[in-house]
Structure 1
Amino acid sequence: MNKATIAAHLALAAWVAGTSTNVSAQAVAPVQGGVYTCVDAKGRKLTSDRPIVECIDREQKILNPSGTVRAKVGPSLTAKELADIEAKEKREAEERNRTAEEKRRDRALLTRYPSKAVHDQERADALAQITVVIKAASNRLEELGKQRRSIDEEMEFYKKDPTKAPAYVRRQLEENTQSQAVQRRFIGEQEAEVKRVNERFDDELGRLKQLWAAAAAVPK
């Protein structure tokens, strides 16, 4: 049902509602730029710039100024029926858009990954970049560990009362503890990223296998 048809049905529904409250049919606004026409129960051909009372129980056509049919309506639908139709059409439009978007993504996926080898290589490249970052953070953590052992050796002299240790030593100890915590947290985040990357590529691969199989089945 197009917008013109829906607008016409709304006008008819408004007329029905109007008659139930003794509102004149003349109060119903006409469809912009359209002419209603119908054949009533007596066989008369009627025309009007708004829903025709005598044809409320039968089909009415809405004509453009050129005489072509813009829409067909009737018998009159209730406001609820119209709302249900519009809701159904909205759901169908959303489903069409979703399907179109899915097809677009599939085409983009096939263009980017024409084969499993290409997909495997991109996965390996993505993981390699994260591995480099983790390695650098691990090296830094190892350096901090060496520094900590040196600091602990100094603190050994103040084992009984650490508060007597020089301020610079206590400051080094605190900074080292914080730095190690930062590096460990960062490494944990990168390891989680490895998991996310693998999950993404696994999901893509599952879909790609279907797309590759479908493409291979198409006659050349």
Structure 2
Amino acid sequence: MKLHVRLTLLGVAICSAAAVAQTDSPREIHTCKDDKGRTLTSDRPLPECLGREQRILNPDGSVRKIIPAPLTREQRAELEQRQAAERLAEARRQEERRRDLMLVSNYKTEAELDQAYVRALEVPVEALKASRARIDDLMKALAAVRKEGEFYEGKIWPIALRSKITEIQAGIEAEQRNIGNKAEDIRRVNERFAADRTRLRQLLTAQPRLH
């Protein structure tokens, strides 16, 4: 047999051997550690690795993929709580940004905000004054009825007179509740506009960065 024929046959044999070797070598390696810390390795998924962190390696030993161990019930609950807290924090950030944009859109200066503050106070302040005036009138009416009742000293007052007293006292109590409600409204307005004024001042200073 001639030399070049021998060389050709030898090359074919080497290529065939390499192809067989490539076919026999695993395309990926599955590995994990058992409960004793021993490393388990296979060319296919291992049943022993279920419920454990698994690593899938390339034939050269480099890491192709890491499959984390399933979370325990406690870890899952902790993760869900953390994710819920993150969603809540993000919602708050979005709400703060929406409010910031609304502030700089509605008020170009602090003076405009102060004008809106005065307007917001008008209704509760006037209602507060009206309730106080109404109480003054009711107290005068109550005094008049009691003065009339002096005629019945030592006797049972007529039903109409007693009903009048009850009606006036109920009216006074209602107006006192109104005063408490309007005072709370005024407190909230003051608190909100104080916070808005501080925030608007910051936003107007840094307005180019808001958009």
The equivalent position to 2:106 in structure 1, one of 102, 112, 131, is 112
Does 2:128 align with 1:134?
Answer: yes
* Alignment coverage as a number of residue pairs: 165
Shift of 1:79: 3.6
Q: 1:59 aligns with which of 48, 58, 63?
A: 63
Counterpart amino acid of 2:118? A
Alignment partner, residue 16 of structure 2:
none
Taking the aligned partners of 1:199 and 1:153, their CA distance within structure 2 comes to 45
Specify the alignment match of 1:39 in structure 2. 58
Shift of 1:125: 0.7
- What are the ranges of 5 or more consecutive residues in structure 2 without an aligned counterpart? 1-30, 36-44, 51-55
Moved runs in structure 1, 4+ residues, more than 4 A? 83-89, 91-97
Return the index of the structure with the highest Cα Rg: 2
- For normalisation by structure 1, the TM-score amounts to 0.60
Cα distance 1:148–1:113, how it changes in 2: closer, same or farther (>3 A)? same
Instruction: Say yes or no: does 1:165 pair with 2:150.
Output: no
Q: Which residue matches 1:7?
A: none
CA distance in 2, matches of 1:188, 1:93: 37
1:145 aligns with 2:139: yes
Q: How far apart in 1 are the matches of 2:58 and 2:89?
A: 39
- Matched residues, percent identical? 25
Aligned partner of 1:187 among 169, 179, 182: 179
In the TM superposition, what is the alpha-carbon distance from 1:200 to its structure 2 partner?
Answer: 1.1
2:124 aligned with 1:124: no
Go from structure 1 to structure 2 and tell me whether the alpha carbon gap of 1:116 and 1:169 turns closer, same or farther (over 3 Å shift): same
TM-score between both structures, scaled by the size of structure 2: 0.62
1:203 to 170, 195, 208: 195
How much is the aligned-residue C-alpha RMSD, in angstroms? 3.9
Alpha-carbon distance, 1:154 to partner: 0.8
Aligned pairs for 1:20-31 within 5 A: 24-25=46-47
Distance 1:178 1:94, change over 3 A: closer
Residues 132 and 179, structure 2, Cα contact 8 Å, conserved in 1? yes
